[in-house]
Amino acid sequence: MLESVQKSFIFRVYKKFKMSYSSYFEALEECDLKSLEHRRLCIDLIFTYKLMVTKEIFIDDPIFEFLDHSRLRRHRYYLKSLTTNSNKLSSQILSYRVLRCWNSLSELVFPVKPSTAVFKSRICKYDLNHFLSLNPTNY
């Protein structure tokens, strides 16, 4: 629903300035913008990085734990959620929104020496479209 506000605004801007509007995602690309869902996912991933890797953020009640990556063919920050998925509302909890995407990230996204700035720049360039419910292929 929130995405529709941005979509409507972009559509109105295109009409006001008599620009040709073909689709929401083409307009986003032309304006060098990302969808709200994409920005939320990036922010969630950066928050998770600060929480689990650099320890810039501290939460009393942990929501993730690291899994032993030596037995898995995964990156060294592979996570498991400590919250239970008991109902539809829990799907909006950070741990469920971000976990599948986080665990699918390439090892190359994570800097050798933990750095939030480097991670942020890499994650913003990383293709996250297949983790979004709205993307150019299904919208």
pLDDT in tens, 85-110: 665 555 567 888 899 999 999 999 99
Structural domains in the chain (count)? 2
Cβ–Cβ < 8 Å for 52, 80: no
Whether 137 is covered by a domain: the verdict is no
Whether 19 is covered by a domain: the verdict is yes
Distance of alpha carbon 122 from alpha carbon 102, whole angstroms: 13
**Region 127-134: what's the mean pLDDT?**
89
Whether 138 is covered by a domain: the verdict is no
Strands 64-66 and 79-81: antiparallel
pLDDT at 96: 83
Range of the domain at 60: 34-131
Q: Which residues are paired to 64 by β-bridges?
A: 81
If you ran DSSP here, which 8-state letter would residue 23 be given?
Answer: -
pLDDT at 81: 87
**Neighbouring residues of 97: CB distance < 8 A, sequence distance ≥ 6:** 41, 44, 91
Whether 139 is covered by a domain: the verdict is no
Whether 136 is covered by a domain: the verdict is no
- pTM beyond 0.75: the answer is yes
